[in-house]
Amino acid sequence: MKNIFFILILLQLILSCTDKNKKMSEPKNEIDSIKSNSKAKKDNIFSDLILSEGNIKIYGDTSIQKNQITKVLLKFEPYISFQDFKVEIENVKAKLDLNSHELGKKFRTAIRNDYDNPESLFAGHYTFAKWGCGSPCQMNVLIDRRNGKIYDAPESSVGSEFRKDSRMLIINPPEEENYYYNDCIYCKPEIYILNEETKKFVKKESKY
């Protein structure tokens, strides 16, 4: 009789512990469910479009307002290169004709300095002369070294890039790893090609 009573007590204890363990495991499942839902919501936030302007799109947390994005950089990736417009370099230097252009009379010192500077040699037998006109502003002229005459050239804001053996010119070239600021109205790079027959620069529009 004592043995039967002992067995009944033992069974009651086992059943009590099983119920207790089951109840303790239920909140954990509920917490895991909450965490899972929270993660799903977070993943959805980071897949939304924040900003779409021109050739740039920014995806991320939509809780960020557009006016809180302080800097947006665009990568300058030209579809043509200096190699596409190569020319032979000529060892010529005619007398500079400052009277051939109105800017030659006003900025004779700056133009003379660049005409004598071998680093300003452009497109085989030209000089690309440049000088500052404020911030940000740079005036430029083209000089044909065969006859010394001065011609118009595109103005720039933050500089220019060219080669001695190419007719291609980049106005406002980007400085930081080929990136420039999207909201900077005077920072956008522009590509020009010199037409040697007309002595004029032809702007090449982007394909994008």
* Mean pLDDT on 79-90: 94
Per-residue pLDDT at 86 exceeds 90: yes
User: The whole model's pTM is what?
Assistant: 0.64
Backbone φ and ψ of 80, nearest 5°: -125, 165
Per-residue pLDDT at 4 exceeds 70: no
CB atoms within 10 A of CB 142: 22
CB 178 within 8 A of CB 76: yes
Backbone φ and ψ of 68, nearest 5°: -95, -5
Q: What is the pLDDT of residues 93-132, one digit of tens each?
A: 999 999 999 999 899 999 999 999 999 999 999 999 999 8
pLDDT bracket for residue 207 (50, 70, 90):
low
Backbone φ and ψ of 93, nearest 5°: -160, 90
When mean pLDDT is compared across 6-10, 84-88, 125-129, 198-202, the lowest value belongs to 6-10
Q: Please state, in angstroms and as integers, the Cα–Cα distance from residue 24 to each residue in 11, 27, 32, 112, following that order.
A: 20, 6, 14, 89
CB 76 within 8 A of CB 172: no
pLDDT bracket for residue 57 (50, 70, 90):
low
Q: What is the pLDDT of residue 134?
A: 72
- Closest by CA to 132, choosing from 159, 170, 99, is 159
Q: What is the pLDDT of residues 138-152, one digit of tens each?
A: 899 999 999 999 999
